[in-house]
Amino acid sequence: MLEIWGRPYSSNVIPVIWTANELQLPYQLKLAGGSFGKLDTDDYLHINPNRMIPAIRDGDFSLWESHTIVRYLCSKYSMGDLYPENFEQRAVADQWMEWSGTRAFTPVIQLFFATVRTEPHNRDLDNINKYRKEAEQVFTILENHLSTRKWVAGDSFTMGDIPLGAVAYRYFNIEIERPALPNIESWYARLCERPAYQKHVMRFFGTNPQEWQALEVACAVEGD
């Protein structure tokens, strides 16, 4: 059975868990990282020498790096669907997966840490505004791209929507001001209709460090 190593609330693990559920793959979640530890064990060293999450073990095959795992699962179990057969469509999906990691992820995760993971009395408003403006600039690019298509790579949901979809949930659920982004909002609404997205991405992550920690500890029932 497929093993997924990581934490359900980790921003890099979420796309992997979501992908496995989109594909309806049976898997075992091996809780690791953060308060769950296990990253310094000899067993995990053979799975991921970086001692980071996520990683998977698919039979005798191990793989790490979140987006690479998403591509692997989609190509192996969803060729022609989540992993497009058309070279151009596949390239566009791949392009936006890369863009998600290089452009969209950073300002959103910084906003997350500056708000949810920081006590209210310690929050730096100048820092929050800096990353809020950066996120606005970045998401304007996606907004323009989605003006002519329903999904990132065209008219159907593909692997290209997965990393960005995970980032979008955090962006729309952090307590900050956001500009009107009608095309992204429509795309996000379509994501919210997907059962796997509802269950594995749309997790309330709290509004402060105490709520976050309590929710992460509670997720232990999902692993072993």
Question: What are the phi and psi torsion angles at 214 (to 5°)?
Answer: -65, -40
| pLDDT reported for residue 9 | 92
Q: What angle do CA 131, 188, 195 make, to 5 degrees?
A: 125
- Measured between alpha carbons, how far is 215 from 201 in angstroms, rounded to an integer? 14
Q: Are 171 and 163 in contact (CB under 8 A)?
A: no
- Measured between alpha carbons, how far is 127 from 166 in angstroms, rounded to an integer? 23
| pLDDT reported for residue 216 | 80
| pLDDT reported for residue 224 | 45
Q: What angle do CA 221, 223, 224 make, to 5 degrees?
A: 100
What would the mean pLDDT of 11-30 be, rounded to a whole number? 97
Architecture of domain 87-211 in CATH?
Answer: Up-down Bundle (1.20)
What would the mean pLDDT of 140-157 be, rounded to a whole number? 98
> What CATH number does domain 2-80+218-222 carry, 3.90.1170.50, 3.40.30.10, 3.30.70.20, 3.20.20.140?
3.40.30.10
| 162 Cβ contact partners less than 8 Å away, ≥ 6 residues apart | 15, 18, 19, 22, 70, 97
Q: What is the pTM of this model?
A: 0.95
| Model pLDDT for residues 31-59, shown as the tens digit of each residue | 999 889 999 999 999 999 999 999 999 99
- Measured between alpha carbons, how far is 104 from 135 in angstroms, rounded to an integer? 7
Per domain, the residue ranges of the chain are 2-80+218-222, 87-211
Q: Are 1 and 194 in contact (CB under 8 A)?
A: no
Angle between helical axes of 161-173 and 182-191 (0-180°, round to 10): 110
| Model pLDDT for residues 79-92, shown as the tens digit of each residue | 999 999 999 999 99
Q: Are strands 61-64 and 27-31 parallel, antiparallel or unpaired?
A: unpaired
- Measured between alpha carbons, how far is 100 from 110 in angstroms, rounded to an integer? 14
- Measured between alpha carbons, how far is 161 from 163 in angstroms, rounded to an integer? 6
pLDDT tops 80 at residue 138: yes
**CA distances (Å), origin 166, targets 10, 142, 172, 177:** 10, 14, 10, 19
Residue type for position 220: A
Peptide bond into 120 cis (omega under 30): no
Do domains 2-80+218-222 and 87-211 share one topology? The answer is: no
